[in-house]
Amino acid sequence: MSENLKINQTPIPGGVCAPKGFIAGGVHCGIRRNQSKKDVCLIAAECECTAAAVYTQNLVKGAPLAVTKRHLENGRARAVICNSGNANTCAPWGEAHAEAMCQIAAEILGIDENDVMVASTGVIGQELPIDPIKSAADALRISLSADENGSDAAANAIMTTDTFKKEYACSFALNGVECKIGGIAKGSGMINPNMATMLAFITTDVKITPQALQTAVRNAAKSTFNTICVDGDTSTNDMFTVLASGLAGNREITENSPLFDVFTRVLTDLCTLLSRDLARDGEGATKLITCAVYGASSPEAARVLAKSVVSSSLVKAAMFGSDANWGRVLCALGYAGVDFDPETVEVVFFSEAGQVKVCESGRGLPFDEEHAKRVLREDEINIKVSLQSGSPEIFGAALGCDLTYDYVKINGDYRT
């Protein structure tokens, strides 16, 4: 897929309910103590959908992931149910309770439980109470809606330490046929996806084969969700799913279809928006950090180098303090495991307040410290790294946030 492929996309309301054939809802069932916070959601389609997912690469995985993998073996699904407040990971009766959640969703919708994907997020190691979810089944059914209220409820129900919901939708054309895509996501801490705790649920009315959708999902995750780092911790429950109803009426997309790259680009763009929000909402974060690396040997090498920079606790701390400590950037590049010539590196910090070049040919440059502080005080900071290992057009980026005192406060008593 061309990194420069551009498609006309129009932002629209509705989130996961924007595409044809989808409903969603969410309620408070009692898993979370705070009764003002929704803690279970359901997203469903009126017909069988093509479905695909990618999951955490952590060897310790939540029970819902195992159940969802089994249910997606045929590349088809109708719904996804998710709870917050309890990860159902390393917990008693984990898979049985994940299956029970699928049964609850199936009874609400009148579908086969094997057509339901399941996800959970929250505290690890505690038994997931199923009775509250069963008791809330009628309320969850009533909450289901085909408009933006349904998506809003679902987006709020999957939040844990998030401070705002992550939700987007857009319309686009495939050979003159109007199509729509929408998504919600959650994640604030334990974010270092290698498909953190990170969940993303996307719906579309595009008609596409299961194989093509799985490839598109994997490709989109690689350059978006997998480039985020809030704290270096890869969650046990990461899951990114897509349901495609096929109701838009386009000719079915295969991996060899001329429109496969178009759909993958649209999916990637939506995931990019969600990824930026996930990084921006890092626990205790005050700044969004983007690192872009140019001139590496390949786009993948550039992404690895960029993620090493945004993953560095020392770089994150320097950005929190508005300190142009560029040596930490070079240090993070050096241990990324990617070969490059340190003698050719150039580093520039920039933001809405301006820019400051701090390093050229691997050596420090004199710069105005006060101006650098003004640049780094903004709430969105960009770090541009230029190498000479490959073409200047070869590019890769990663997203992160600063490391603040509040991150420790939030995670010091997260369980209690």
Please, which residues have CB within 8 angstroms of residue 128's CB and are 6 or more apart in sequence? 31, 83, 86, 88, 91, 93, 94, 97, 98, 120
- Pairing state of beta strands 76-86 and 40-55? antiparallel
List the end-to-end C-alpha distance of the chain, in Å, as a whole number: 46
| Side chain identity, residue 272 | T
- Pairing state of beta strands 22-27 and 116-123? unpaired
Q: From CA 201, how far away is CA 184, in angstroms rounded?
A: 6
- Pairing state of beta strands 395-401 and 288-294? antiparallel
Task: Kindly name the residue from 50, 160, 161, 197 that is annotated as catalytic.
Answer: 197
- Pairing state of beta strands 199-204 and 239-244? parallel
Neighbours of 11 (CB within 10 A): 10
| 52 strand-pairing partners | 242
Contact 287, 315 (CB under 8 A): no
Rounded to 5 degrees, what are φ and ψ at 307?
A: -70, -30
Q: From CA 353, how far away is CA 362, in angstroms rounded?
A: 25
Annotated active-site residue 163? The verdict is: no
Tokens found for residue 314: 């020392």
The 3-state DSSP composition of the chain as helix, strand, coil percent (nearest 5) reads: 35, 30, 40
| Extended beta strands in 361-415, E state | 363-364, 380-386, 395-401
Please, which residues have CB within 8 angstroms of residue 413's CB and are 6 or more apart in sequence? none
Q: From CA 215, how far away is CA 239, in angstroms rounded?
A: 15
Q: Which of these, 397, 215, 223, 404, lies nearest to 322 by C-alpha position?
A: 404
The catalytic residues are 197
